[in-house]
Structure 1
Amino acid sequence: MTRLSLRALALAAVLALVLAAVASAATVRTSATPAQLRAGKVAYDKAITAGFAKATKQLDAQLKKHPKKPTVVLDIDETTMSNWTCLDAVDFDLIGIANCVVGGTSVAYPAAKAFIKHARARKVAIAFVTGAPQLVCAGRRQNLVAQGITAPFTLACRPADDHADTLVPYKSKARKALQKAGATIVLNVGDQQSDLAGGAARATVKLPNPVYTSA
């Protein structure tokens, strides 16, 4: 077997694992059709920008309370980075998420980058907590850096032995671990309610996601 064939098999195996992770988090498509999603793309982009404008106001309000070691926690997919191009290419089948994650081709939202830049200027630490499996954690980090979101930041990925049908226990535990290490999570931003549930943050901002929902 050639080296190219081995690489293709390895990528296929990783893709299958990412798809399994999506399924285990009970990620499902919304009722919006591909035509409806495409027609609403401009409004969706504006809603993401508005969401980060709200996050900026929330962050500034929290910083007026002078918290120790202030930290912002962000989800990655459809929060910090978009998988729209990969999803659009397959008529918004959820395999599009896996294609972007495995290929490292997710694209950072300009509003997310501006928010992170603002937070860092205010001496706020950045932490990412993603539902992507541990196997692709290095790739998620590389994708973030390639999109201009450079270190320092912390990144938590879903453990290989976590097969729960909801991300809430894992994500809330990851935030509590940051708190235990001394961080004050002043704001938690995500596109799913499961990104925000479970507490361990002083404030939350929910971004829209017209494509899919995750438990």
Structure 2
Amino acid sequence: MPRPALSRRARLGAATVAALVTGTAVFGIGQATAERSIPRTDKEIPNLTQVQDQIKAYYGDTVTADGRHYASPHSNYARQVRGIEARARGYLAKVLAKSADRSAEQAKSSKSAKPAIVLDMDDTTLLTYNYELQVGFHFTPESQDKYLESTDMDPVFGMNRLVNWAHDHGAEVFFITGRKEAQREWSVRNLKNVGYGVPLDRTHVFLKNKENPPPYLPCGTNCSTVEYKSGTRRHIESLGYDIVANFGDQYSDLQGGAGNRTFKLPNPMYYLP
């Protein structure tokens, strides 16, 4: 998912600097809180270079001759994702089978909610790893636009197969991403090109439209990630769907209700509240 114009990481960094400069004011708010949020010595701060090296090792960093970075299918990241997908498939197999039986019984007498799954895009269905390395983990809207316009991201290992399997077994598939509406064409192209064989029209792919927010979002142009995503999920439910599973790499993708079960994908590269 994209970060805002000033990246969340930059905002968090700026907040930390401000807190350090005005330490006495922060302590006035509450010493216990300040002691937890402000490092007392450099030893309490992870070394940035070493953290980046750990991230590369976790993803099994593979560099091509032209300088592109790819995650290895044999990496610990890939292994962790496969474990999450296996649990999700086991859960969905049971839920979708029950839903099919229930729908058959109710077909003549009443309408039943159709099962659906909801997925975030960046680092849930599409892997941003190469982009993050190309920009040195420094997101900007401009660099993201340039990258998405010209480059397809790889699918998160196995997620395209899981999504297609769920769809083939009766689940409607929806994507809710924090990417902006102007990136729709690039995003849909990318999903198609890497094997997501599910409907990708405007009724199935929701992007953030700050200029013309939909009427079902009462927060309008000021939605937080949680408000935007949970509000969109509630809109999907209002159309007659039962969201049996919600997938995301950030906790803000999963919070706010409107979904029976959540599956958190790993992402140590950035944090979005």
Which residue of 33, 48, 51 corresponds with 2:51? Answer: 33
C-alpha deviation, 1:192, in angstroms: 0.5
The residue aligned with 2:132 is 87
How many aligned residue pairs are there?
198
State the alpha-carbon separation in 1 of the partners of residues 122 and 6 from structure 2: 12
- Where do 5+ consecutive residues of structure 2 fail to align? 14-45, 60-74, 103-112, 212-219
C-alpha deviation, 1:165, in angstroms: 7.0
Which residue of 11, 34, 44 corresponds with 2:77? Answer: 44
Which residue of 118, 141, 146 corresponds with 1:73? Answer: 118
| Residues 119 and 248 in structure 2, CA contact (< 8 A), matched pair in contact too | yes
State the alpha-carbon separation in 2 of the partners of residues 26 and 190 from structure 1: 22
Normalised by the size of structure 2, how large is the TM-score?
0.65
The residue identity in structure 1 corresponding to 2:159 is: A
The residue aligned with 1:23 is 7
Cα displacement string for residues 21-60 of structure 1 (whole angstroms, at most 9, x for unaligned residues)? 5737988699672211111111112112222112212212
| Residues 81 and 108 in structure 1, CA contact (< 8 A), matched pair in contact too | yes
Aligned 1:66-215 pairs, distance under 5 A:
66=99, 68-95=113-140, 99-153=146-200, 154-161=204-211, 164=222, 166-215=224-273
The residue identity in structure 1 corresponding to 2:55 is: L
Secondary structure, counterpart of 1:92 in structure 2: coil
Normalised by the size of structure 1, how large is the TM-score?
0.81
Which residue of 74, 77, 86 corresponds with 1:53? Answer: 86
State the alpha-carbon separation in 2 of the partners of residues 109 and 100 from structure 1: 17
Residue 89 to residue 24, structure 1, CA distance change in 2 (3 Å):
closer
The structure number with the bigger radius of gyration is: 2
C-alpha deviation, 1:98, in angstroms: 5.2
| Residues 69 and 184 in structure 1, CA contact (< 8 A), matched pair in contact too | yes
C-alpha deviation, 1:198, in angstroms: 0.8
Specify which structure has the higher proportion of strand.
1
The residue identity in structure 2 corresponding to 1:90 is: V
